[in-house]
Structure 1
Amino acid sequence: MGALLALASAICYGLSDFVGGLVARRAPFATVALLGQAGGLVFALAFVPVVPTGAVGAADLGWGALSGVGTGIGMLFLFRGLADGAMSVVVPVSAVGGVALPALAGVAFLGERPPPLSWLGIAVAVPALWLVSHTRSGTGGVPGPVANGLIASTGIAVQYLALAQATPASGGWPVVAGRVAAILTVLPWTRAPRLRLRPAAIPLLAALAGIAAALALLCYLLATRHQLVVIAVVLSSLYPVIPVVLGIVVLRERLRATQVAGLLASAAAVTLLTAG
């Protein structure tokens, strides 16, 4: 169950990044992030009654809020990189960093010890994410895109690690607290005049991207209650596969040999992680 929930999280996050990345090319990146988190908050509030909830402690909400700060930082710098056309650098750096940092922290600080097959899956997943995300287009190794990717990866790592610390009794309320914190994190980056976006579909798509991201976090939160955080993070972090597949199906993009290798390696990583 935990592995399936983590994979569902990856699918939702992939959909969110695909839609959000397209919108960030046509609207200010901070506005896209803000509208996304607002849509995510509405969805999280509507979805909370579905998740079994007991006693919600202040610590649970605090961990959720810290996770939301990570989300806000991660989305700001991810969309900033995508808006600059540096997808070939920002996405792989943010993806690999976002999975490596929580995995290391889970082992070093949470005392988690994945079985041997899972370790092999983690070892396969990291280069797989790089291969499947990296393309020839973009700005190569320019410091700006790399910096955006590294900052985004740090935010994503904080998001995953902090949310996993919430107790099962808290239900989905840590995700709600996270959306509020994410909005407050993103808000200073936005400018009021830029909220008037045309066409009207742009705000709607940005909100839908945020709803998908909120659902991804809910699936991830539930996954951590059935699975080691290290494994849940790695499976959830396979989300870059989804934009690549959608790019082929929807945008008629062509796969490069390295991306094919990355997709195959990702499938192998999923197999190893779920078998372990």
Structure 2
Amino acid sequence: MAALLALAAALAYGVADFLGGAVSRRSTALKALAWCVPVGLIVVLTAAVIVGGRFTWTSVAWGFGAGFAGGIGLITFYRALARGPMSVIAPVSALAAAVLPVGVGLLRGERLDATVLAGVLLCLVAIALVSMENNDAAPQRSASLADNGPLLAGVSGICFGIFFTLLKAAGDGGGLWPLVAARAGNLCVIGAALLIMVRSRTEDPGPPVKGRLLIGLAVLSGVLDASANALYFVAAQKGMLSLVAVLTSLYPAITVLLARITYSERLRVVQRLGLAVAAAGVALVTIG
């Protein structure tokens, strides 16, 4: 059950990231998130009220910490998507996001049987293969680190890894309230970033998110991202962090395929191999 929930989270994350990246390309990362995150907060708050559960300050604190890290990750990730090819940015971020929870899980004494362990290792290899960039087609290194797509992707991945780890630590005794706290943490970071941008006026504010299509994409991205958070949270409480985080981090496969279809971003042979390896890894995990 945990593996299926994690794969469903990966699917939702992949589509949400693609939609959010599309909005960011036509506006800015912060303005896209200014739509996505509040929508996500409404979704998880509604779900938390319906599901119920005991509200505990400890679980909420873990959730807020996860959301704070996740908020930083979202800003850097959406900015990276707006500056580089999705087929490169999403896998780099996912690889960084997967390694940290796996390490924490193993340090906590999690042990996977041989079949599942082989599947997890294949998934990590798959993420690495899909992340491989063609040096000839790679974007030029920016003079500003804040505009370096692959570097931003790596930073976002570390933040997402912290998010996955802390959300696991929030426990399952408080219903979905840790997710509400996590969204509140997201909102605090993004609100602060917007305030700094407005006051400093050192960055081009960019075009607003307007029009039914663009607003619709931003709202749908927020709904899917919040749904993915919920799926991961439930999966993490039912299964091992080292397994669930890796399966969830397969979301770039969805983003890459959607980018291939929509933007005609070419998949290199090694990236196609990575997708095949990912399928094999998922098969081993589900069999195990």
Query: What is the TM-score of this pair, normalised by structure 2?
Result: 0.87
Among residues 258, 264, 273, which one is paired with 2:276 in the alignment?
264
- Give 1:83-102 correspondences, 5 Å limit: 83-87=82-86, 89-102=88-101
Q: Does 1:123 align with 2:135?
A: no
CA distances 1:35-81 after superposition (whole Å, capped 9, x unpaired): 21111001111222443x43221011011111111211111111111
CA 1:194–1:245: 2 relative to 1, 3 Å: closer
**In the alignment, what sits opposite 2:221?**
209
Q: Does 1:166 align with 2:178?
A: no
Q: How many pairs align?
A: 274
Alpha-carbon distance in 2 for matches of 1:138, 1:87: 12
- Give 1:53-132 correspondences, 5 Å limit: 53-87=52-86, 89-108=88-107, 110-132=108-130
Q: Identity across aligned pairs (percent)?
A: 32
Larger mean CA deviation between 211-220 and 139-148 belongs to: 139-148
Q: CA deviation at 1:195?
A: 8.2
Alpha-carbon distance in 1 for matches of 2:41, 2:21: 20
- Unaligned stretches of 5+ in structure 1? none
3-state SS of 1:262 partner: helix
Please tell me whether the aligned partners of residues 35 and 222 of structure 2 are also in contact (alpha carbons under 8 angstroms): yes
CA distances 1:78-105 after superposition (whole Å, capped 9, x unpaired): 1111111254543232111100111011
**Partner letter of residue 277 of structure 2?**
A
3-state SS of 2:32 partner: helix
- Unaligned stretches of 5+ in structure 2? 199-204
Alpha-carbon distance in 2 for matches of 1:275, 1:208: 33
**In the alignment, what sits opposite 1:19?**
19
Larger mean CA deviation between 209-218 and 126-135 belongs to: 126-135
3-state SS of 1:31 partner: helix
Please tell me whether the aligned partners of residues 96 and 130 of structure 1 are also in contact (alpha carbons under 8 angstroms): yes
